[in-house]
Chain A
Amino acid sequence: MSKTLLLGVEAIAQGALDGGLSGVYAYPGTPSTEITEFIQQSKQAVEGNVHRIWAGNEKTAMESAIGMSYAGKRAMVCMKHVGLNVAADPFMNSSITGAHGGLVVVVADDPSMHSSQDEQDSRYYAKFALIPAFEPSNQQEAYDMAYSAFEFSEKYKTPVLIRVTTRLAHSRAGVERKPIKPQNALNPNTDPKKFILLPANARNHYRSLLAKQKDFENEAFNSKYNKYVDGEDKKVGIIASGIAYNYVMENYVGTKCPHPILKISQYPLPSEHIAKIVDECDSVLVVEEGYPFIEEQVRGILNRTGNIRGRMDGALPRDGELNPNLVAKALGLKEQIGSPVPSIMVPRPPALCNGCPHIDSYLALNQAMEKYGPGKVFADIGCYTLGALPPYNAIYSTVDMGASITMAKGAADAGLLPAVAVIGDSTFTHSGMTSLLDAIYEHTPITVLILDNSTTGMTGGQDSHALGVLGNICKGLGVEEEHIRIIKPLKANQDENARIIAEELEYQGVSVIIPTRECIQTLNRRMKAKAAKK
């Protein structure tokens, strides 16, 4: 059978489509965005009327997926690792109610923080929620796992989590597809207590979830994704999970790995396999992408045996992404390195694009803020975070989606004035609206700039729920009309824009300024498409 070239995330999307998916729910976030984009562009999804429109945030996405599962159909929800923090409430409780139609949660972690603010490891969330997790080591496994995850979920009436990391998410390889399965028919559950988490019900459901744990581990023990391959040199055994398994095997191309090796791609950890390798080998090197999740469980906090090695004892770095060289070093193998990087080399950090509207917003804001000094502009997650870099040096903080407004509020409560928030249009509708309501409720003196570039820019220009409705949302929430100011961020308007911002900085209540101009990337793309049509 011929192979299709797919990114790891695309393989998940195709696997889910072929596995009978009825709906995908997601908010864009690197490195998970392309799962939903692939489904949006898929003819198969259009023909099957698969739901594929972006959600407002990860929580609403998770809840919609749960609803589709309760209706008996197969649903997938996709997000980046920090997105699961936003979706944590419905995620954790979905494991208590359990799933009905197959429910698959795909989370893409970003070790080394290529496009993120932390490198949290979603396997802890799966363990926290007491649900099975899959961690593909290659694109084929990514496809196969997504394909069969719905049946697994339906067999045990549990949501399941698929965890990928950036490198697999964005690496392409040939994938063999399987026969397309039909979607489930609408099939609501007949048990009236099943999905109502009243304490009395929840206590019962929780016990039945706990009772399933042994089954989950048995599945992991018998899983084709977890394999134990014996080796003669038992001085060292290797436990490798997900893509880290490939980094181990890269060091033995053309030969056989001399050490016993346990590959882990399905959780919870199969204790029998772990016991075998720990008992048979003098020491065990644990190689995993992300936190020392397996290592910590195997060694225990007391580290009594002292022979479990990995990220915690320094055999591998505690943080950051792995690669074949780091693994070679940990295995004591000879490393080959090319010539050093010349001393003239300088970093080339990302920057706001030429023509980006945020540039003009920041220039005007900086002009208005000049007399107040630094430390008063609280920013948010998006391209405009790059306003932290020279020549703008315009912002004081960036923490999580929607936080700018409430951080500015807290600072204003503390007496720091003026307090300014800078947030993008899509981030505002993601989780800035309730923050704004807090400030309106208390009439807190803050100035909020909602940078409206009519798209979700950082992730490549996905549709934004905020399109065309920002002014009305602010009015509806209770911002006074005369303090909702729409400006056009252009070089030519800089003085006028700075004057308007300065006016609102003086106002001792909630002001919202909306600099409105389309993202230069989406604009260029539209223009090109238009030219191509002619």
Chain B
Amino acid sequence: MKIDIILAGVGGQGILSIANIVGYAAIKKGLYMKQAEVHGMSQRGGDVQSHFRLADYEIASDLIPMGQADLIISVEPLESLRYLPWLSPEGWLITNDQRFVNIPNYPDEALLKAELDKLPRKVVINADQIAKDLGSARSANMVILGAASPFLKIDFESIENAVRDVFGRKGEDVVNVNLACLRAGREYSEKR
């Protein structure tokens, strides 16, 4: 078993919190993991990505070969498309539909939507709104993780437990709102 994930977003959007939860769940299950992150200059509002790999055998490369990612999980729609060369022909793309516009030549919204529409296997979700409705605008990442969870090959209970463990020291309220966001994302994915 292996699962390769490209996590995408804009520096400062916190894509690493998603990796943190999945990694926590995977390590508890005794899986091997490698996760390459971007630190440094790009973190200042540039495009950032993380190569996140899980397997039940020892992983060689820290980078995912092109065409082999099972999932692209993105917190920004334009950024989700940047890594299509990595997505396997059977892979799924899970992305927030809320644009982060910090460049003057950001593509037109309709063109962006048309590109996303072309993809055969995708979940496009307004994670910001769902998180806001549940009372924690900052937890949009957990909505996206929830939406990606049916494709993760890790049981949902383990992911829920990882959220409990990772957010545990921030108190029960924080844990609960993040769990609610996670579940809402999953529900959205399953209903579609």
Task: State the main secondary structure of chain A at its contact with B.
Answer: loop
Q: Give bound CA distance, A43 to B115, whole Å.
A: 50
Q: Give bound CA distance, A386 to B59, whole Å.
A: 37
Binary contact track B24-42/A, C-beta < 8 Å → 1, others 0: 0001000011111111111
B159 within 8 A of partner (CB): no
Task: Check A383–B44 contact: CB distance below 8 A.
Answer: yes
Task: Check A348–B36 contact: CB distance below 8 A.
Answer: no
Which residues of chain A in 147-191 are interfacial with respect to chain B, using CB atoms and an 8 Å cutoff?
167-168, 170-174
Q: Give bound CA distance, A460 to B189, whole Å.
A: 36
Task: Check B65–A351 contact: CB distance below 8 A.
Answer: no
A415 within 8 A of partner (CB): no
Task: Check B27–A350 contact: CB distance below 8 A.
Answer: no
Task: Check A339–B27 contact: CB distance below 8 A.
Answer: no
Q: Considering residues B34, B39, B51, B115, which has the most beta carbons from chain A within 10 angstroms of its beta carbon? A: B39
Give the contact stretch, choosing among A246-254, A310-318, A427-435.
A246-254
A307 within 8 A of partner (CB): no
B89 within 8 A of partner (CB): yes
Tell me, rounded to whole Å, the shortest Cβ–Cβ distance linking A289 to chain B. Answer: 11
B62 to chain A: which residues have CB within 8 Å? 167-168, 171, 173, 243, 246
Task: Check B84–A353 contact: CB distance below 8 A.
Answer: no
A241 within 8 A of partner (CB): no
B135 within 8 A of partner (CB): no
A347 within 8 A of partner (CB): yes
B59 to chain A: which residues have CB within 8 Å? 173
B3 within 8 A of partner (CB): no
Which residues of chain A in 302-329 are interfacial with respect to chain B, using CB atoms and an 8 Å cutoff?
323-325, 328
B66 within 8 A of partner (CB): yes
B180 within 8 A of partner (CB): no
Task: Check A350–B11 contact: CB distance below 8 A.
Answer: yes
Selected from B23, B66, B103, B105, the residue in CB contact (under 8 A) with A336 is B66
Q: Give bound CA distance, A406 to B46, whole Å.
A: 31
A345 to chain B: which residues have CB within 8 Å? 78, 81-82, 107
Task: Check B43–A350 contact: CB distance below 8 A.
Answer: yes
B42 to chain A: which residues have CB within 8 Å? 114-115, 350
Which residues of chain B in 51-80 are interfacial with respect to chain A, using CB atoms and an 8 Å cutoff?
51, 57, 59-63, 65-69, 78-79
B60 to chain A: which residues have CB within 8 Å? 246-247, 249-250, 253
A115 (CB) vs chain B CBs: closest residue: B40
* CB pairs A–B below 8 angstroms (15 shown): A30-B41, A167-B36, A170-B36, A171-B36, A171-B37, A247-B60, A253-B60, A328-B65, A335-B66, A344-B112, A347-B103, A348-B78, A348-B102, A351-B44, A458-B40
A246-B60, A249-B60 provided; 17 other pairs, C-beta below 8 A?
A: A167-B62, A170-B36, A172-B35, A328-B65, A336-B66, A338-B91, A339-B84, A341-B81, A341-B82, A344-B81, A345-B81, A348-B102, A350-B11, A350-B46, A353-B12, A458-B40, A460-B39
